[in-house]
Structure 1
Amino acid sequence: PAVRYKASGPALWTITPGVAREYALRFRYKNTTAAAIAGRLQVADSKGTLVVDRDITFPPTPNKFKTIATTTATQINAGHYKVAVKGASGVVFDYLEVQ
């Protein structure tokens, strides 16, 4: 099942996955600029250790929200994690869906 999370700050979410596995991350976002915006996707565990740290690009979405999907690319255990998108100013997020 998928769980939706609202941001707890600008481009910051706290997620609590259950069992250890690779998770899909789906960002519902809006980029009303004429160009793609690149940012840095980071997922950190409760100790602050980065388990995901890679680039992510948000294509333009004139006047509407769209979804972009990625994964954790590795298994993460149950617990509390911080998901952040850094350096993507100009992108507005509706929610993050984790499945």
Structure 2
Amino acid sequence: MTMLSLTITDHPDLTVITLDGEVDALTADHLRQAIDQALARGRSHLVVDTAGLGFCDSRGLQTLIAGQCRAISAGGSLRLAHAHGYLQRLLELTQLTQLFPPDPRLEHLLTG
């Protein structure tokens, strides 16, 4: 069974959704719900911390793209922090690194 744990942390200027596990067809709805809940609370600047992400398939990527679109519509953005491994490779292969550009400030915020 695929497992995904989500932790949502509000900071003054943004909300961090920390992932631990896998985002795939079985768990992508949990991520979508977390994004939707944050947006519904007026939190339009979102960061998805993928340091603990072990796997992400096309459904997970689709969920991130849709979340980015909804965040932009709400006047904000969805950024990725600690993209690595399979997710980073998927972003490169699909040429989506421009949609989710790396931001060293986020890495420092989340580790510092």
TM-score, normalised by the number of residues in structure 1:
0.31
Task: Say which structure is richer in strand.
Answer: 1
Determine which structure has greater relative contact order: mean sequence separation of CA pairs < 8 Å that are 6+ residues apart, divided by chain length.
1
